[in-house]
Amino acid sequence: MAFFKSFASRLCLFSLLCFAAIAAPVTEIFDQSDVPFNEKDFEKRAPGDTEAEAIDATFDPHAGKVWSNIAEENCYAMLCMLGGRRVYQRILTANERGDHIRESGASERPFETRNLAIFHTTRIDDATTSPEEFPWRSIHSGEEDAYLFLATTSEQGSEAAGITNGYNKAAGLDYGKWFSITFTYS
């Protein structure tokens, strides 16, 4: 046992043990490109988390008070002016609405009598003084490429209730979620 007590013998023993670990053969090199991709290995995102996983939201302009004129303007904006885009993201917080009204120009009230000349516009009749904006103020970044249309104040109130109703009926359509707009008529 005196052999194991000397420094040199301990160094030799340690070297032998390390050599065995270093010299262990590698049986196979693992190439990840040979492994087939399996989508089930990934956790699916919740509906509405991405634009590709948008939640279907249905809005009925004839339910309750009618706002079909505004719905037609919205359809025209989506299909003709925005190239058929129907998927949008809901605002991130309730406070975001005010920014949209201001940045879209709706807060300037361009269809009121005193502002018609300033904004170089006209209106259908004296009742159409309310600016309808699309994308809606409840849509995130709605002020970008927002279009203003004529509407009555009454229709605007009906539309607000109809949009809220559509959001509530679409399961999981909380703030910040992506959704696809569909209009149905009852």
Residue 60 has pLDDT above 90, yes or no: yes
Structure tokens at 95: 């406070």
**CA-wise closest residue to 53 among 178, 185, 181:** 178
DSSP-assigned beta bridge partners for residue 85: none
pTM of the model: 0.70
Sort residue 183 into left (φ over 0), alpha (ψ -120 to 50) or beta: beta
Is the predicted pLDDT of residue 175 greater than 90, yes or no?
yes
| Higher-pLDDT residue of 84, 145 | 84
Tokens for 32, please give them.
């990840």
Q: Are 182 and 56 in contact (CB under 8 A)?
A: yes
Residue owning tokens 């040199």: 8
3-class DSSP string for 107-163: HHCCCCHHHCCCCCCCCCCCCCCEEEEECCCCECCCCCCCEEEEECHHHHHHHHHHH
8 Å CB contact between 69 and 130: no
The pLDDT tens digits of the residues spanning 134-158 come to 999 899 875 567 888 999 999 999 9
